[in-house]
Structure 1
């Protein structure tokens, strides 16, 4: 069994496309396959001045914190600090990077695998230190993820590709999200890789597609393996009921 720890840089995730992320799906990921979720921490900001003065804000924030705790995560709060800079501009700051890094380093002694949710390149040194301690470090991010952070991780996966991790609109319900692989621009076809979350872990699947089934104006978009597409899977009666992707659209970031 791989003893797994999950560390969520919640403010970075919230501001980078991960708003509304479901912690229960994240916990399921940590407990899937041959892993057992041993540590699960989420680092969040709280404006204490506002929680004292704004009842609605306080109730909404604490309700959200309780939901996270019910999913098995420890909530670590970083209180917002207000200060006036040299130009007289009021600035707020609530950076939990140091708290996350210290906790991860101390707790890594009892862990085999760490899942870090962030896109912040400031964590590159942390990833390297954890790897030197013998831990496998996997990074999950959404938008604006540091390219260097992706490279140093043992594995990087876009959170958009993890089924159910983000809420989807009713129009998108039942659709898949994937990235293009083996695209042939001369013939206009390739495959889309998507994932299924099972008790055995994330399982990669591929499905055939043709660019004619896409609403993307330029098929060159399929040459970029970082682009994420939404699509449906159908049985095509015009091609011996072959399984393929249809109604393909580029995911708006």
Structure 2
């Protein structure tokens, strides 16, 4: 920091105290003479140490002190002389501070106790205050202010007198020494020579002391430099250690990552091993299945060969069965025709016998020689229609045996068909057997179920086909049904000059069918059971 800044930040009493610590009697007298504070030597010698220090502080600060006006020298070069003098005196300390780092300065000059005890407080403070580094200057101000505050300095009476007893005693003793023995008196050359000799001796002693102090400082400086080199070496070692530690930490981090990756790879490898074992087991199972498949395939080929042989045998047997069935069907048709003819003949015989029972046979004439021409009758009974009509209206059943005898009468019965729909839930075997033993031919079909859930089971078309196919051998067609769907069939029968009769329940018979029929036989209680 430059001297102008120093003058702005240091106070007059601080500077006076600081100069008192830094300068001895000879230096104060020499500096006062060189700055021209007092031109008269006698007057200069008459001033006390305190007055000289105050005037030097005023000269340095460029302000007005408490000294008399004739003692002041307003030359601007006085400030420079004081600065140069103090700089030369503190040159060793300035060199020492210049070699030190800021951290070292703050460490070694942390407090002023060591500096005060070593006697170089003033030189070090001046070196710190005039250093070019701001942090060093600020540390110097801090030491100066702290030390000054610790000696309890204050000002009274407006004259800047020290209240510290130690300072007052030291200044008074110096003043007494100056006035009584040290300074030469006017007109006494011998005493002046003695005084100068004493000053020379003091200067030599001071020089010796300074030289010793300088040597001691050089030793301290060498020690500090050596210690500094050791600290730098340790710092470098610490830095290298820290760098190595960081490297080890990075390597440790990398190693941890590698370990984690190894664990992950190991886990994945174990999973792959398990998967391989599973696939091997699956492979063995598939191989076993392939063996079984080959066996099944071989068995299938054998079975296919055998099946072809069986199919050929079945085909041949089927052809034989078809031929046999054809033969049986032809024989059955012949038997059926014979059966129908026999039944017709039997009915004719019954009718003839009944007729003969009602006739008077002349004496001497055989009843078997009588002949009669009776109409041929075909009866077609819709059992389904008759059953539900009787059940719904009367809750009873039709007596089909009486019905057949009633509607045929003395006429010749060619055929009597009973059309039945078989329902799985109802057993009609005994009923059908009864009809067969009493002259009926049974035609049966199963009840058919549609995809929508409804059922189909009627003989309308079947009855019509049978009637038309037999119409050429019949004279009378009797329909036992009240279904109006038979109206077209009844008209067709009449168009062929055949007689059509209808027997059914009156409440359940179509009016059109009743009108078309040549005769309608309503069923009453006599035909119900």
- Relative to the length of structure 2, the TM-score reads 0.28
CA shift, 1:29, in A, is 2.2
The answer to which of 142-151 and 17-26 deviates more is 17-26
Aligned-pair CA distance for 1:27: 2.4
Equivalent residue for 2:461? 98
1:78 to partner: Cα distance? 2.2
TM-superposed CA distance for 1:156, in Å, is: 1.1
Rounded Cα–Cα distance in structure 2 between residues aligned with 1:24 and 1:17: 16
Deviation at 1:166, TM superposition (A): 1.3
Whether 1:119 and 2:482 are equivalent positions in the alignment is yes
The residue number in structure 2 matching 1:82 is 449
Structure possessing the higher radius of gyration over alpha carbons: 2
Partners of 2:390 and 2:398 within 8 A in 1: no
Q: Which structure's residues are more often helix, by fraction? A: 2
| Native 8 Å contact 1:6 1:40 kept in 2 | yes
Task: Please name the residue that 1:70 is paired with.
Answer: 437
Alignment of 1:1-253 (within 5 A): 1-17=374-390, 20-33=397-410, 35-47=411-423, 50=424, 57-58=426-427, 61-85=428-452, 90-142=453-505, 143-160=507-524, 164-167=526-529
Larger strand share, 1 or 2: 1
Higher relative contact order (CA 8 A, sep 6+): 1
SS of residue paired to 1:24? helix
RMSD across aligned positions (CA): 1.6
Q: Give the aligned partner of residue 286 of structure 2.
A: none
> 1:99 deviation in Å?
0.5
SS in structure 2 at match of 1:128: helix
| Contact 1:5 1:115 survives alignment (8 Å) | yes
Query: How many Å separate the matches in 1 of 2:521 and 2:429?
Result: 30
Aligned mates of 1:12, 1:26 — CA distance in 2: 15
Matched residues, number: 151
Misfit runs of 4+, over 4 Å:
none
Q: CA deviation at 1:30?
A: 4.3
Unmatched runs of 5 consecutive residues or more in structure 1: 168-253
Q: Secondary structure at the match of 1:138?
A: strand
Partner secondary structure for residue 17 of structure 1: helix
**Which secondary structure does the structure 1 equivalent of 2:520 belong to?**
strand
Shift of 1:31: 4.0
